[in-house]
Amino acid sequence: MVIERIDETLPGAVLDRHAFRGDQTIVVGRDRLLEVIDLIYKEGFQLLLDVTAVDGGQRDPRFDVVYHLLNLTSQERLRIKVRVGERESVPSLVSRFKSADWAERETMDMFGIPFEGHPDPRRLLMWEDFPGHPLRKDFPLDGGDVFCSQDIGASFSPDARSPHV
Amino acid sequence: MSKMETTLPALSPDGDRMIVNMGPSHNSTHGTLHIVLELDGEFIVKATPQIGYLHRGVEKLGENLTYQQFIPLTDRLNYCSSLMNNVGYTLAVEKLLGIQDPPRSRVLRVLCSELARIGDHLVCIGINAVDIGAFTAFLYMFKERETIYDLFEMMAGQRLHSSFTRIGGLFRDIPAEFEPLCGQFVESCERTIDEMERLLTHNPIWADRTKGVGAISAEDAIGWGYTGPCLRAAGVAQDLRVAQPYLDYETYEFDVAIAGSGDVYDRYLVRTEEMRQSLRIVRQCLKRLKEIGPGPVIVEDYKVALPPKEKVYTRMESLIHHFKLIMHGIDMPVGEVYSATEAANGELGFYIVSDGTKSPYRIHVRPPCFPIFSSFEEQVKGRLIADAISVLGAMNIIAGEMDR
């Protein structure tokens, strides 16, 4: 198992681990992420399927950045989680995996988690001046649209267009 | 009136370049995607894809819907093969619940997935050929696609947005007319694929436009996160149906199609062969359905699946179960799962985090064409605009799935 190999080679890197329904998850500190990634890359985990995040809401640290990796030879899957607080950054994996480029941009766009060393840190799905990060738990489902949140019966008034003024 | 002064813009030392917007509604950008091309004559110097035009916040919506209610949203991810998204999503929820659907439902799921795969590949190859200028093949193939949609209509009552699966099984069994029509379809589709191959495989114009275009090495393809036909065209025999079998795929006989160079032509060959293999699986499914005979297509656990209406109207417990399921949803265990299936474009993954409430705490879709499209610039850099069209078609970008 690759988790034992990580423990042997990089003691203390894995902060926590759990297995659920056959999915292996390890939690890694953000300062040791690149070491762990380099090690498991050598072990055969060369396909980075996905980078995403989970907003823990009130929890501290707030976010889990989640990486899904696949070993094409042994068909093993591994989920790596990195816990980050608000305004904390995660090292970018673009130098290791090209597939991390857009996936990290999307995570940054949707959660506002900065990826340190990303060559092109622009928003991906939303436009540049979009306010907020949609997948954060405190972002309203209706996008903060005044026509959705006010009384449906309210007649149109041009002032209602700019609720933030 | 003073004489107007004009100054010519200074030419840059490497020649003047033209910026061309391809999309958001260009004939060959199926769905709304936008590529800003920087051109030097006919050659592409830089290609910047801009995506997000079809972003509907599916993941955010999923956090506010019950597990069952999310199924119609999965139809709208890859709308060319919506049944496969339904299957992929319900498998993920079933993995979270730790349950398995009944044998008849498993065969039907394989059957509809393979039909959807054929449909998806037919569209992909057909449209790719149309974009390149070969219109005829497309017409032959769309006849078959119509039959596939007729079959879907029989199954699910819907042609495009099927929402056929339910957590724990299927919405309903197939009608009696399904099997004869499906049998006919398998025969005629086989002939159509032959016909299509006669029109394209040895067609020198098709070969000129596709061979060597978008070639990618196996290492690069893995690095970019390729999966599915595009990865197999680059020579990596990775097919989740074989490598990590689900829905008893290990008990079906079929081969994994691979090629070597990863170019558009190889992707076409891989997809063509996959359609033939899918037809093989469909035949086996039809045989198995006869063997299994009639039976339940959804689990009879009323904590997961709705009880039949006759029971709801006549029995107290069933009425309570119905009410509890609709109002409170399914009792989910706390945990997180990632479940992947081999969709037409590649690995379709669903990452679900559950906190035990009726809606997922977080639901994330791993669309197969998202990482593939991120390599677009590298695929077309230094090539002609015409190549960009054929590369785009062969990647099979479905904006609904990519932008979510």
Residue in chain B nearest A77 by alpha carbon: B338
Mean pLDDT of A100-122: 90
The pLDDT of residue B23 is 75
Contact A55 B362 (CB under 8 A): yes
Which of A16, A27, A102 to mutate to probe the B interface, most B CBs <10 Å?
A102
Contacts of B128 (CB under 8 A, 6+ apart): B264, B268, B390, B393, B394
Query: Which candidate from A20, A110, A125 shows the least CB-CB separation from B336?
Result: A20
The reply to whether B60 touches chain A by the CB within 8 Å rule is yes
pLDDT tens, position by position, B16-25 = 788 888 877 7
Give the A window 12-51 contacts with B, CB below 8 Å. Answer: 20-21, 23, 25, 46-50
The pLDDT of residue B396 is 86
b or e along A145-157 (b: 16 or more beta carbons within 10 Å of the residue's beta carbon)?
eeeeeeeeeeeee
Contacts of B178 (CB under 8 A, 6+ apart): B151, B154, B155
Q: Which amino acid is located at B354 in the chain? A: S
Size of interface A-B (CB pairs under 8 A): 89
| Look-up of token digits 């309903």 | B172
Query: Which candidate from A75, A101, A103 shows the least CB-CB separation from B244?
Result: A75
Q: What is the DSSP string of B148-199?
A: HHHHHHHHHS-SSS---EETTEESSPPPTTHHHHHHHHHHHHHHHHHHHHHH
Residues in chain A with CB shorter than 8 Å from the CB of B375 are: 98
Minimal C-alpha gap between B334 and chain A (Å) = 10
- pTM of the complete model: 0.86
Contact B236 A97 (CB under 8 A): no
CA distance B338 to B312: 34
Residue in chain B nearest A122 by alpha carbon: B50
Contact A68 B366 (CB under 8 A): yes
Minimal C-alpha gap between B227 and chain A (Å) = 9
Contact B243 A75 (CB under 8 A): yes
For B403, half-sphere exposure in the C-beta direction (CA atoms, 13 angstrom radius) is 23
Query: Which candidate from B64, B222, B370 shows the least CB-CB separation from A102?
Result: B370
B331: three-class secondary structure by DSSP: coil
Inter-residue contact A152 to A146 (CB < 8 Å): no
Inter-residue contact B122 to B144 (CB < 8 Å): yes
The reply to whether B361 touches chain A by the CB within 8 Å rule is yes
Which of A46, A49, A67, A130 to mutate to probe the B interface, most B CBs <10 Å?
A49
Residue A149 reports pLDDT greater than 60: no
The C-alpha angle with vertex B8 and arms to B7 and B9, in degrees rounded to 5, equals 115
The reply to whether B46 touches chain A by the CB within 8 Å rule is no
CA distance B288 to B344: 23
Which of A17, A66, A96, A125 to mutate to probe the B interface, most B CBs <10 Å?
A125
Smallest Cα–Cα separation from A125: which of B392, B361, B49?
B49
Residue in chain B nearest A104 by alpha carbon: B371
Per-residue pLDDT of chain B (404 residues; tens, 9 = 90+): 455 566 655 555 556 788 888 877 776 666 688 888 888 888 888 888 888 888 888 998 888 888 988 999 998 888 888 899 999 999 999 999 989 889 999 999 999 999 999 999 998 898 888 888 888 888 888 888 899 999 999 988 888 888 899 898 898 888 988 989 999 999 999 999 998 888 888 888 888 888 888 888 888 999 999 999 999 999 898 899 998 999 889 899 899 988 888 889 999 999 999 999 999 999 999 999 988 888 888 888 888 888 888 888 998 989 999 998 888 888 889 989 999 999 988 999 999 999 888 889 999 999 998 999 999 988 888 888 888 888 988 888 888 888 88
Contact A68 B236 (CB under 8 A): no
The pLDDT of residue B339 is 92
The pLDDT of residue A29 is 87
Minimal C-alpha gap between A158 and chain B (Å) = 26
pLDDT tens, position by position, A55-79 = 888 888 889 999 999 998 888 899 9
Residues in chain A with CB shorter than 8 Å from the CB of B404 are: 125
Cα-to-chain-centroid distance, residue B398: 8
Contact B51 A124 (CB under 8 A): yes
The reply to whether A54 touches chain B by the CB within 8 Å rule is yes
The reply to whether B61 touches chain A by the CB within 8 Å rule is yes
Q: Which amino acid is located at B48 in the chain? A: T
Residues in chain A with CB shorter than 8 Å from the CB of B362 are: 54-55
